[in-house]
Structure 1
Amino acid sequence: MTEHVSIPTAAGAFDAIAAGPADGRPVLLLHGFPEAAISWDYQVAVLGDRGFRAVAPDQRGYSPGVRPQAAAEYGIDELVEDVLAIADELGWARFDLVGHDWGGAVAWWTAAEHPARLRTLSVVSTPHPGALGEALRTDEDQQLRSQYMRDWRSSGTERRMLANNAEALRRMFEWRVGNSRVDEYVQRLSEPGALTAALNWYRASRPAGKIGKVGVPTLYVWSTEDVAFGSTAAFATEQWVTGAYSFQMLEDVTHWVPEEVPEVLTGLLLEHLASK
């Protein structure tokens, strides 16, 4: 049974959903934009039923208790520190880390910089930042796909996204996520300051240093109809993993993998976790 918990840290209290026995093998799941922890509710429930202790937090800016105003507070260093702070508060010396979209980017950086903390890494949609960076330099298709990242840094983005009953926000989900779930995302992001906080992930300055290769056993799941991430970076991600690596390509699935094909993704996660 899924429960709602609050995780206090020095940065503030993170809201989260959780399931499974307190002494179960720990799994932390990180959501992306413009979603929330509940994007993982199916995976959290199944993992909990299988004896894992699965926790999915509303990340920085999405949890009202951790919503700083300045874009500078949403740099990758702060986001990785949140992951470690949450794990520390939960008493997890080592854990399995799962991420989708922006949560996937944070997961890659965490694995690269703190490999000793992770048992395994599973990333959905988001290629390794090194592979994505190279594609942005050399691949016109990826450059076009990523134009939105620059567009969303403009000051009028919140107004455009929330206009006409948040039509632009709703359209992002490509009708692959249930209306009631999208309604909840829109309601959350319509709270004062919430959408600005979420967009600050894009407005924060990018890391000055280069990310290294990942030696943690890694599962990478990419879907062929993903509008944000093309095949160039997806296929190149293997070059950035030195540990055991599994690449799973889902045909005819969009960017919203955790909610569009929850059973398929959960099966892949369980297989990966069981192998390590």
Structure 2
Amino acid sequence: MTELQSLRLSTGVDLDVAISGDPAHPPVILLHGFPESHRTWRHIAPDLARDHYVIAPDQRGYARSSKPEGVANYTPDKIVADLLALADQLKIDRFTLVGHDWGGAVAWMAALQHPDRIERLVIVNAPHPLVFQRTIFDDPEQRKASQYIRRFRDTSIDQGLTGTGLEKFLGSTFAHHVTQAIAGKDKAAYLDEWSQPGAMTAMLNWYRASAIVVPAMDETPPRPAFLDAPFPPMKMPVLVIWGMRDTALLPSQLDLADYVPELTIEKVDAGHFVPWEKPDAVIAAMRRWGI
């Protein structure tokens, strides 16, 4: 991928952005998730850049992008606003949006709220907001798999997330898949990003700012009313690429037909971090779909 550019957005944050390809080509914006960066797409962006204008930001809170203080600065509406401000700054009107993990969650929301801007949507192991919340309530296995979110929302863990404490945390949580699977320059680059002042707190604030309710296994909280109310369908074609060995987001997340009229699902033999576990499969799925 190309060298990062730092862009000041109208939302008041500076984002580091990897930009490649010809601006005259169809634009694609790639959104990473936790605990990554634009590096999520390091094996995928070069292929897309052959015939697309490819934009891959380090989102707010990550790596060397801005890290505003306070949980309230990481609510999904602010992150969606960053996405649109980035597109505006680069003079992009409509675009294909690709998101993995938290980037996918932002992509679902952006596409629901701004269908005029998003021509096509590609989701990689990221849950639809209604399906995710419903399965956390109704599927005991998904609720169990989501308990790590409760841990991530505990602010008492933040002060220990430096040095060896950081590696211990990442080695004993959902994120341990990253530290197990990368080594050498890749691992050093990620550890450098995670070690930036305030980065771990900012990254975890995405979980803390989310409205998703994750009850304890023995808890029976009030059921959110929207789970049983009509929900708007997606207004653009959607490709869902899913690593079927994901232990955090179970196959129940693929029950999407009622909410995505133009749905294509591509299943991959990989875990949660499929963009760098099986990048060739991700590229092939996108190309078959017409990107």
- Summarize the Cα distance change of 1:179–1:213 in structure 2 as closer, same or farther, 3 Å threshold: farther
By how many angstroms is 1:19 displaced?
Answer: 1.1
Gap runs ≥5 in structure 2: 213-223
Q: Is it true that 1:262 corresponds to 2:274 in the alignment?
A: no
Distance 1:100 1:12 in 2: 22
1:183 to 188, 204, 207: 188
Equivalent residue for 2:257?
238
Q: Are the aligned partners of 2:115 and 2:236 in contact in 1 as well (CA < 8 Å)?
A: yes
Moved more, 54-63 or 171-180: 171-180
CA offsets, 1:195-231, max 9 Å, x none? 1110100111417995632121000011121011001
Which secondary structure state, in structure 1, belongs to the residue aligned with residue 154 of structure 2?
coil
Distance 2:33 2:112 in 1: 19
Which secondary structure state, in structure 2, belongs to the residue aligned with residue 115 of structure 1?
coil
Q: Are the aligned partners of 2:7 and 2:14 in contact in 1 as well (CA < 8 Å)?
A: yes
Distance 1:62 1:165 in 2: 15
Equivalent residue for 2:106?
106
Equivalent residue for 2:201?
196
Alignment of 1:26-37 (within 5 A): 26-37=27-38
Q: Are the aligned partners of 2:170 and 2:179 in contact in 1 as well (CA < 8 Å)?
A: no
Q: Are the aligned partners of 2:18 and 2:56 in contact in 1 as well (CA < 8 Å)?
A: yes
Equivalent residue for 1:96?
96
Instruction: Using structure 2 for the length normalisation, give the TM-score.
Output: 0.87
Which secondary structure state, in structure 1, belongs to the residue aligned with residue 126 of structure 2?
coil
- Summarize the Cα distance change of 1:265–1:140 in structure 2 as closer, same or farther, 3 Å threshold: same
Q: Are the aligned partners of 1:6 and 1:13 in contact in 2 as well (CA < 8 Å)?
A: yes
Moved more, 17-26 or 29-38: 17-26
Give, as a single letter, the amino acid of the residue that structure 1 aligns with 2:196: E
CA offsets, 1:208-262, max 9 Å, x none? 995632121000011121011001122x1232212x21011112x1111011111
Which secondary structure state, in structure 2, belongs to the residue aligned with residue 240 of structure 1?
coil
Q: Please tell me the root mean square deviation across aligned C-alpha atoms, in Å.
A: 2.0
Equivalent residue for 1:218?
238
Distance 1:232 1:200 in 2: 26
Q: Is it true that 1:60 corresponds to 2:56 in the alignment?
A: no
Which secondary structure state, in structure 1, belongs to the residue aligned with residue 6 of structure 2?
strand
CA offsets, 1:97-139, max 9 Å, x none? 0000000000000111111111110000012111111101100
- Summarize the Cα distance change of 1:217–1:178 in structure 2 as closer, same or farther, 3 Å threshold: farther
Distance 1:226 1:67 in 2: 29
Q: Are the aligned partners of 1:221 and 1:247 in contact in 2 as well (CA < 8 Å)?
A: yes
Distance 1:27 1:34 in 2: 22
Give, as a single letter, the amino acid of the residue that structure 1 aligns with 2:246: D
By how many angstroms is 1:63 displaced?
Answer: 5.2
Distance 2:251 2:161 in 1: 28
Distance 2:71 2:236 in 1: 30
Instruction: Using structure 1 for the length normalisation, give the TM-score.
Output: 0.91
- Summarize the Cα distance change of 1:6–1:245 in structure 2 as closer, same or farther, 3 Å threshold: same
Q: Is it true that 1:229 corresponds to 2:229 in the alignment?
A: no
Give, as a single letter, the amino acid of the residue that structure 1 aligns with 2:21: G
- Summarize the Cα distance change of 1:215–1:179 in structure 2 as closer, same or farther, 3 Å threshold: farther
Moved more, 3-12 or 133-142: 3-12
By how many angstroms is 1:64 displaced?
Answer: 3.5
Q: Are the aligned partners of 2:58 and 2:65 in contact in 1 as well (CA < 8 Å)?
A: no
Give, as a single letter, the amino acid of the residue that structure 2 aligns with 1:239: D
Equivalent residue for 1:82?
82
Equivalent residue for 1:127?
127
- Summarize the Cα distance change of 1:209–1:76 in structure 2 as closer, same or farther, 3 Å threshold: farther
- Summarize the Cα distance change of 1:212–1:79 in structure 2 as closer, same or farther, 3 Å threshold: farther
Give, as a single letter, the amino acid of the residue that structure 1 aligns with 2:178: F
Give, as a single letter, the amino acid of the residue that structure 2 aligns with 1:128: H
By how many angstroms is 1:71 displaced?
Answer: 0.5
Give, as a single letter, the amino acid of the residue that structure 1 aligns with 2:119: R
Which structure dedicates a bigger proportion of its chain to helix?
A: 1
Equivalent residue for 1:272?
289
